[in-house]
Amino acid sequence: MEKPSSARFIRPEHVDIELVTVAYRNRSFPVHMHDQYVMGVVESGAETLIIDGRSYEVGKGDMITIDAGTAHSNSTVGDAILRYRVFYVPTKVTRSYVGSSDLRFPAPVRSDPAAAQRLLELHRWFENGTGDKLEEESALADVVGIAFDTAVGLDRDARLPDAVRRARRYIDERFDENFGLDELADAAGVTKYHLARSFTRAHGLSPLAYRTQRRIHAAKELVLAGAPLVDIASDLGFADQSHLTRQFQTMVGISPARYREQ
């Protein structure tokens, strides 16, 4: 049986953020603040959130978006267990993605079912701890984009088309390396957030998905050439042979072994 109150904190390996998954019953917190942006979703139950003397009722499916350094208090509502998942993202990390640490959320509570669902999916993905550097940095770019939504302009920078081309060239030349979004954005000359969003719009694939496609294309050639799968995985930057097989089957539809036989 689940304990009435619990909190689990997770710190991913490749990005400087913290995640928490909580289950609280009859719990309240006094006025406090976080040095980080708070971005999360209520999975069940409800709470009252008080900021600047204003009270907000936060229920199932609602997003919580609290600015860094904002004093607030919160308490559960009713007898139901309050469950929510939250990202704590430092201002320096946000700045590294969007070029600014002065962004402000329009409101501390937001109703957007599609965005909330995606944020929960990303939180659970981070919880599994299976991503490499580019995967975690790309997922965090998605978190920042969802949380701030229209607060970050995407189409005003005339450098973006050239930046996308530079990023694609960088991936084409280094797809077998485990670089991160930091290196890719530096090569492109724009922020990580703008690069991730503009690259996806330009190519229909995220930088991560594009790198995976390039790896799979190369893997198919090596599989047909008879190279051992363990060597293919190592040479192309996959975590191990199982990782190669899973990605190959997802993209090609059959395992590398069956692909070689046909």
Mean model confidence pLDDT for the chain: 89
Q: pLDDT tens digit string along 163-189?
A: 899 999 999 999 999 999 999 999 999
In the predicted structure, residue 255 carries a pLDDT above the cut 70: yes
Range 223-229 average pLDDT: 93
User: pLDDT band at 1, cuts 50/70/90?
Assistant: very low
The CB-side HSE value for 144 (13 A sphere, CA atoms) comes to: 33
- Placement of tokens 């690069």 in the chain: 195
The pLDDT tens digits for 118-128 are: 999 999 999 99
Give the pLDDT confidence of 42-100 residue by residue, as tens digits.
999 999 999 988 999 999 999 999 999 898 999 999 889 999 999 999 999 998 888 77
pLDDT computed for residue 97 by the predictor: 85
pTM for this entry? 0.76
What is the pLDDT, as a whole number, of residue 226?
A: 93
Report the CATH superfamily, name and number, of domain 210-261. Answer: Homeodomain-like (1.10.10.60)
Q: Per-residue pLDDT tens for 192-220?
A: 888 888 888 888 888 998 999 899 999 99
For domain 6-129, the CATH class is: mainly beta
The 3-state secondary structure of the chain reads CCCCCEEEEECCCCCCCEEEEEEECCCEEEEECCCEEEEEEEEECCEEEEECCEEEEECCCCEEEECCCCCEEEEECCCCCEEEEEEEEEHHHHHHHHCCCCCCCCCCEECCHHHHHHHHHHHHHHHHCCCCHHHHHHHHHHHHHHHHHHHCCCCCCCCHHHHHHHHHHHHHHHCCCCCCHHHHHHHHCCCHHHHHHHHHHHHCCCHHHHHHHHHHHHHHHHHHCCCCHHHHHHHCCCCCHHHHHHHHHHHHCCCHHHHHHC
Helix axes 160-174, 207-224, angle to 10 degrees: 30
Residue ranges of domains in the chain: 6-129, 153-204, 210-261
Contact of 207 with 140, CB cutoff 8 Å: no
Sign of CA dihedral 178, 182, 186, 191: positive
Q: Work out the percent of the chain whose per-residue pLDDT is above 70.
A: 94
pLDDT interval class at 160 (50, 70, 90): low
Report which of residues 161 and 87 the model is more confident about: 87
pLDDT for residue 159 is more than 80: no
